[in-house]
Structure 1
Amino acid sequence: MTTKVLIVEDNLIIQMFIEHIITNVGSTHVKTADNGEDALYIIESYMPDVVLLDIGLSGTLNGIETATLIKEKYKIPFVYITGSSDFSTLESARKTGPIHILKKPIDEYELTSEFEIIRQKLYESKFESSK
């Protein structure tokens, strides 16, 4: 089964790195956006299985605001990617119900293993919802 992933990251180098790693994990199809507004537009037609989302997005919607809209309107699981480790930001992020949080900087090995954890969580949530 192919996992459809939307990566929402405004740093092009980080976005390309994540896309490269996720694509090489296998059985994935990846689309990207660099802001919350574009992400919501892409979701309309792409309907990913999971959204990997930078908390500190530039634009009118930050990552937490974008995630809240994704959760309310589309009910798509999401994962935060963050370089911020301050308590208040992480607490605000956790309250939105991500299935996972990835901390920057992230290396290839870590991202590969973390993505497998994310896939397992997606599988478990689909299995639970089909009961």
Structure 2
Amino acid sequence: MKLKVLIVEDNLIIQMFIEHIITNVGSTHVKTADNGTDALAVVDHYMPDVVLLDIGLGGNLNGIETATILKEKYKIPFVYITGNSDFSTLESAKKTEPLHILRKPIDEHELNKEFEIICQKLLESKLENSQ
């Protein structure tokens, strides 16, 4: 079974980099969006297993607002991607209970290692929910 991943990142270069790395991990199918509104539209028909979500999205919904909707309406786990490490932003982000937080800048080796951790957490979460 392929893991369905949605990457929501408004920086096209970072989005393409993450997509390339995750696609090469194998057993993943990736869709992308560059803002929260489009991400929610993708979720409606794609229903990903996990969403990788930039906290600092532009547009009508920032990453934290988008994550709140993902959690409450769709019950989809999400992982924050952030280059913003100020205390108040991280505290707000943590309150939404992300599966994991990836910090920018991200290199290929680090992303591979972090994605393994994310996959393990997804597996553990599915096992807990099935009991």
5+ residue gaps, structure 1, are none
Q: In the TM superposition, what are the counterparts of 1:1-131 in structure 2 within 5 Å?
A: 1-131=1-131
What is the letter of the counterpart of residue 79 of structure 2?
V
SS at match of 2:106: coil
- CA–CA distance in structure 1, aligned partners of residues 108 and 120 of structure 2: 19
By how many angstroms is 1:120 displaced? 0.3
What is the letter of the counterpart of residue 127 of structure 2?
F
- CA–CA distance in structure 2, aligned partners of residues 127 and 70 of structure 1: 20
- CA–CA distance in structure 1, aligned partners of residues 57 and 6 of structure 2: 14
SS at match of 2:51: strand
- CA–CA distance in structure 2, aligned partners of residues 11 and 105 of structure 1: 12
After superposition, what is the alpha-carbon deviation per residue over 1:76-101, rounded to whole angstroms, capped at 9, x for unaligned?
00000000010000000000010000
5+ residue gaps, structure 2, are none
By how many angstroms is 1:2 displaced? 1.0
Identity of aligned residues (%): 81
TM score, norm. by length of structure 1: 0.99
By how many angstroms is 1:115 displaced? 0.3
After superposition, what is the alpha-carbon deviation per residue over 1:39-91, rounded to whole angstroms, capped at 9, x for unaligned?
00000000000000000000010000000011000000000000001000000
- CA–CA distance in structure 2, aligned partners of residues 128 and 108 of structure 1: 30
| Alpha-carbon RMSD | 0.4
- CA–CA distance in structure 1, aligned partners of residues 29 and 117 of structure 2: 17
- CA–CA distance in structure 2, aligned partners of residues 130 and 67 of structure 1: 23
TM score, norm. by length of structure 2: 0.99
Aligned length: 131
By how many angstroms is 1:30 displaced? 0.1
